[in-house]
Amino acid sequence: MKPGKKVLIVTGGSRGIGSSIATKAAKMGYSVCVNYRKNYKEANQIVEEINSKGGEAISVQADISSIEEVESLFRTVEMELGPLTALVNNAGISGPRSKLSDLAPAEMKHIFEVNLLGYFYCTKEAVKRMSSSFRGQGGAIVNISSQAAEFGGSNLTPYAASKAAINSFTLALSKEVSLEGIRVNAVSPGIIKTDQHDFSDELAFKNIKKEIPIGRLGTPQEVASAVLWLLSDEASYVTGAVLPVAGGR
């Protein structure tokens, strides 16, 4: 391994915000693992693009709600890329848009298994590799939260609650590992133009934009820029922060 090599895992890195983070990180010199659950084609396209431009990237399939698959993911990255220095917990699901009273218990449970326990599992493995208590060299973790944590989400109550939990998790963990060489922060995107959102209703789209002081939707690239700043040494005195990337909303 090269001295000072930066190795990053981006969970849910095959599309949307995750793919923008992976691509930008590679341009900034990171060796990147693009984690995916089922989007094999998209993940490999990103990896091929990075490698064709002289970067270093691999794709690794893993369902982050499974501790066994998460452990395998981290072992694979360590073997193929080297010691981990950064983690972006990005993989997540919104679940069905439905009133809480209509949701099946299994649907509620699955949202928290992915959005909360998945972050816990990945972070646990990252800390075990980066913490000075485990003879690691330190590192940085960024959790992708959501403005839904503060403002709620229409018929997305479990999703909003899971993201609020991530904000609390970020602050608590940052205090726990601050003397072990690890910084932990979160980015809280507002309404971002990805395939997760349906903007086919033109009137609804205009009304949404009116709620955003800056007057437009954000882009995955803008979220990626915030994430990469928090991972960088330029944010060396920042930990426990939840950074809104929401156009002033």
Q: In whole angstroms, give the CA distance from residue 141 to residue 130.
A: 10
Asked if 209 and 157 count as a contact pair (C-beta separation under 8 A), the reply is no
Residue tagged active-site, from 36, 121, 159, 237: 159
159 classed as catalytic: yes
Calculate the dihedral angle through the C-alpha atoms of 21, 26, 29, 31, rounding to the nearest 10 degrees: 100
Q: In whole angstroms, give the CA distance from residue 1 to residue 237.
A: 27
Residue 248: count other Cβ atoms within 10 Å of its Cβ: 9
Q: In whole angstroms, give the CA distance from residue 190 to residue 168.
A: 18
**Alpha-carbon separation of residue 102 from 96, 97, 113, 152, 155 (angstroms):** 10, 10, 19, 18, 10
The token pair that represents 101 in the structure block: 């009273």
**Alpha-carbon separation of residue 234 from 99, 226, 231 (angstroms):** 43, 11, 8
Asked if 230 and 243 count as a contact pair (C-beta separation under 8 A), the reply is yes
Q: Which active-site residues does the annotation give?
A: 159
